[in-house]
Structure 1
Amino acid sequence: MPNQSTLSIPNIKTLDKRVYSSYPDLVRLQNQAMSFTLLPHLHAANSMSGRHLSLFRGRGLNFEELRHYQLGDDIRSLDWKVTMRTGKPHVRVYSEEKDRHFLILVDQRSGMFFSSQHTMKSVVAAEIAALSAWRILKDGDRVGLCIAGTRQVQWQSASRSQAKLLTQLKQLETYNQRLSVASVDEPQVSFSHWLRELSSRALKQTTILVISDWSGCSEQDIRHLKQLQQHNDILSVMVLDPFEAQLPEEVAYQGWVVGDGTHQLSLDSRQKVSKASQYLFDQKRKQLQHLTRLMAIKQLPNIVLSTDGTHISAYKRAVGGV
């Protein structure tokens, strides 16, 4: 297995880090993959919690404790030396190690190429995906990336190989830097198609991390996620820009025209701006409510990150770091 120590990245001229992600920057994020642990709220007895008490066979056995024999204990676990010395039967308790498999779904579709503040949503998603992947690898678990671009969705199987992770980060850079104001999504990369393909893979005992603005997510999609959650753990990360929940009033005086690639709307009055803002607010509130209820099933946080440039620290705090 390749050495997981910090890699030496050559100094090269990079793009604006607020607009595009670069491979060297994604690799350097391994230096920040400390002081937090993914999914700390999972119960230790959960079979998906990785290297904890589990019914599934893994890489070995960890000694947990020595305790008095209880009715139903396997007599093969008796510690005869302690039993003879104390005169009372004692058993040695072990827990089985089990690798946790992670699949990180990272959204790099056209709608992610937007920000009204500091950092593009696409950059936020890419950096959180890379940071999470490094943390997972440092924990000795398996990780794979699923990247949704404007034309296709690329799936990678989970692996503990650092070399494979580096290859995936290079692919993530490629998808990220393909985005522009002219980008248009193909129908096969819609959020619903993305989830249907995920469901068709019949994943079990996998932790699925979804990093997206959740644009296009419907109630039916939430139902698909609930079904997936019966055999997996799902952690939601919503990348949200303030403009997506409320438009500033001054937009009415700046001649803005907004569109979705098919339809356009001229925001040339305060009334239109107010109606558009209310619609955006209602849509995002509905999505947040659905996701919050979904995360509550497994007592996980519903993480919302902004484009204000504080996403790394905010993400660490949200998953229980410092």
Structure 2
Amino acid sequence: MAKPTLAPKSQQLDARLYCDYARLVRLQSQAESFSLLPHLSAGSALSGRHSSLFRGRGLNFEELRHYQLGDDIRNLDWKVTLRTGKPHVRSYTEEKDRNVVVCVDQRSAMFFASESVMKSVVAAEIAALSAWRALKDGDRVGIVTATPERVVLSKPQRSQHHLLAQLKLLAHVNQSLNVASRDKAGVSFSSWVERIKRSRPKRSTLIFISDWRDCRSEELDQLKLLQQHNDVLAIMVNDAFEHALPDKLAQANWVVGDGEHQLNLDTQSKVALASEELQQHSYQQKESIAKLMAIKNLPHIELNTSGQHISQFKAMIGGR
């Protein structure tokens, strides 16, 4: 159980652009009103699952096998025994504490917002909130951060001191982002997933927080493989401009670019075409991730940049 931590002094940063370490530490106080475990309130996005695959504690059914000398007769399965004529017992294994790995995207594309808060800030704060909740549940927590330079992997530990060090690094990475940030080749979504795979997670909860902009079908296939022995929860951070562009944009003569290519949105037809492509890409992206989550009957959680991401996340995960 994590002990309350005195938050360090705030750096007085613009909270819309950057999150500071003090803010990430203070989120510990908001990790009480929701759970990453299956004790969910009725009507929540996760309710209705009969047997959550988020690991809890207790005994897990492992197999049904023939009775052997020394087996506890209290574990006899009488229905199977009567049907087959041979004694069968239900075998159980003790549940282990979870490893919770929070994978948070802090690459250059996350430094964007058309509303209130940068996607990078949303992702960092949800990562910190999830990590605090996991630590309060007595689980081991690790944070994997994708930066424009590299992917930083931290081994899960049941240590508040360790988590504080990870949050300090996350805040530093977040504050390093700016309009000139450019991603290196080794930090693509595929590289990110490959790094997770190399750590060989098993019976873990993997929480991916990203805009998923460069996640292709190949990466989704890899996540499906990870989903076989782990619980993969996808959290998408989107901005309104990534769904559709406003019609009046043509009057502003906007020029948009990605650092290599530029597009002049100076006519209504160009804006309409760009908006249509955004809508199609966004729809396909959501559908693919929703299918991944459906494997274990989990929701596809989508957060926006309106500044309400904490309450949105708690509502979706079954909090209040």
TM norm structure 2: 0.86
**Partners of 1:110 and 1:150 within 8 A in 2:** yes
For residues 314 and 287 of structure 1, the distance between their equivalents in structure 2, rounded to whole angstroms, comes to 20
Cα distance change, pair 222–94 in 1 and its aligned pair in 2 (3 A): closer
Percent of aligned pairs sharing the same letter: 49
Deviation of 1:13 after TM superposition, in Å, equals: 4.0
Cα distance change, pair 174–266 in 1 and its aligned pair in 2 (3 A): same
The answer for the alignment partner of 1:161 in structure 2 is: 159
Aligned partner letter, 1:135: R
Deviation of 1:320 after TM superposition, in Å, equals: 0.9
The answer for the alignment partner of 1:51 in structure 2 is: 57
For residues 10 and 120 of structure 1, the distance between their equivalents in structure 2, rounded to whole angstroms, comes to 23
Which digits, 9 at most, give the CA deviation of each residue in 1:68-87, with x for residues without a partner? xxx95975476xxxxxxxxx
For residues 201 and 11 of structure 1, the distance between their equivalents in structure 2, rounded to whole angstroms, comes to 35
**Partners of 1:103 and 1:145 within 8 A in 2:** yes
Aligned partner letter, 1:34: E
Cα distance change, pair 31–184 in 1 and its aligned pair in 2 (3 A): same
Which residues of 2 match residues 278-317 of structure 1 at below 5 A?
278-317=276-315
Deviation of 1:9 after TM superposition, in Å, equals: 2.3
The answer for the alignment partner of 2:14 in structure 1 is: 16
The answer for the alignment partner of 2:169 in structure 1 is: 171
Deviation of 1:163 after TM superposition, in Å, equals: 0.3
Cα distance change, pair 205–75 in 1 and its aligned pair in 2 (3 A): closer
> Of 28, 31, 53, which aligns to 1:30?
28
Which digits, 9 at most, give the CA deviation of each residue in 1:92-150, with x for residues without a partner? x9973410111111000000001111110000000000000000000000110000000
Counterpart of 1:54 in 2: which secondary structure? Answer: strand
Counterpart of 2:134 in 1: which secondary structure? Answer: helix
Which residues of 2 match residues 154-303 of structure 1 at below 5 A?
154-303=152-301
Aligned partner letter, 1:51: R
Deviation of 1:5 after TM superposition, in Å, equals: 2.6
Which digits, 9 at most, give the CA deviation of each residue in 1:175-209, with x for residues without a partner? 00000011111111111211122223322111110
TM norm structure 1: 0.85
For residues 190 and 177 of structure 1, the distance between their equivalents in structure 2, rounded to whole angstroms, comes to 20
For residues 186 and 72 of structure 2, the distance between their equivalents in structure 1, rounded to whole angstroms, comes to 56
**Partners of 2:146 and 2:187 within 8 A in 1:** yes
Cα distance change, pair 29–271 in 1 and its aligned pair in 2 (3 A): same
Q: Which stretches of structure 1, 4 residues or more, deviate above 3 A after TM superposition? A: 10-13, 41-46, 71-78
Deviation of 1:269 after TM superposition, in Å, equals: 0.5
**Partners of 1:151 and 1:189 within 8 A in 2:** yes
For residues 220 and 158 of structure 1, the distance between their equivalents in structure 2, rounded to whole angstroms, comes to 26
The answer for the alignment partner of 1:99 in structure 2 is: 97
For residues 270 and 55 of structure 1, the distance between their equivalents in structure 2, rounded to whole angstroms, comes to 61
Which residues of 2 match residues 113-192 of structure 1 at below 5 A?
113-192=111-190
Cα distance change, pair 13–226 in 1 and its aligned pair in 2 (3 A): closer
For residues 296 and 188 of structure 1, the distance between their equivalents in structure 2, rounded to whole angstroms, comes to 30
What are structure 1's unaligned runs of at least 5 residues? 57-70, 79-92
Aligned length: 293
**Partners of 2:103 and 2:145 within 8 A in 1:** yes
Cα distance change, pair 8–270 in 1 and its aligned pair in 2 (3 A): same
Aligned partner letter, 1:6: P
